[in-house]
Structure 1
């Protein structure tokens, strides 16, 4: 299971801020940063490791429109 750490929560908050500021979820790819953190890479990791997230993490991300990475994308990564 991916960790429900302070770092996870901070990156989630950065993702939420980007989206609230008008960013589209599809535009948040590896290399997109906020406060020095690569939120795009973090987001991709969450999507690829969706099954290791706990139910609450999946719910929080789902409320932002985040979904599990398609199987082809998981295999490519």
Structure 2
């Protein structure tokens, strides 16, 4: 993968992202070993900046197709941690055909994907329509209805 005018290491950035099927690494993420270490997180952050793909609009549009081939939402308007968690779980679905049960506390590269998944099921989660469609479509993640408060004796309790 080559993008003219971008750092020579950009192809490695895309290859690293392609390995994980997303281009939403933490900003401090690195890829490779020893002297071949590439700051893939910083490269991707630079590409997302205004003008990061070049000042010429036509050239920038051509360059944007390359990362979009790896992750169509590589430059999403929502938080990158949301995109990273989502893509990791979507990759599990792609590999296994179904999302396995993942409890809070299950970590993947330092991210608690179980906790993230649990939060997405709560009705108060603030996500865009596109994100909601992704959750329901790819992950079959539906939100739970808000819990109702009821009374039993003198104690309030939640109904599931």
Please give the TM-score of this superposition, normalised by the length of structure 2: 0.38
Structure 2 segments unaligned to the other structure (5+ residues): 1-76, 148-157
1:32 matched to 2:97: no
Identify the structure with bigger relative contact order (alpha carbons < 8 Å, sequence gap 6+).
Answer: 1
Which one has a larger percent helix, Structure 1 or Structure 2?
1
Q: String of CA shifts for 1:3-53, please: whole Å, max 9, x gaps.
A: 821111111111112222328435112122222211110011111145522
Aligned residues of 1:32 and 1:38 also touching (Cα < 8 A): yes
RMSD: 2.6
- After the TM superposition, list the runs of 4 or more consecutive aligned residues in structure 1 that deviate by more than 6 angstroms: none
Please give the TM-score of this superposition, normalised by the length of structure 1: 0.71
Structure 1 segments unaligned to the other structure (5+ residues): none
Higher alpha-carbon Rg: 2
Indicate the SS of the match to 1:25: coil
1:68 matched to 2:138: no
Indicate the SS of the match to 2:96: coil
Distance 2:135 2:102 in 1: 14
Distance 1:4 1:35 in 2: 21
Distance 2:97 2:115 in 1: 15
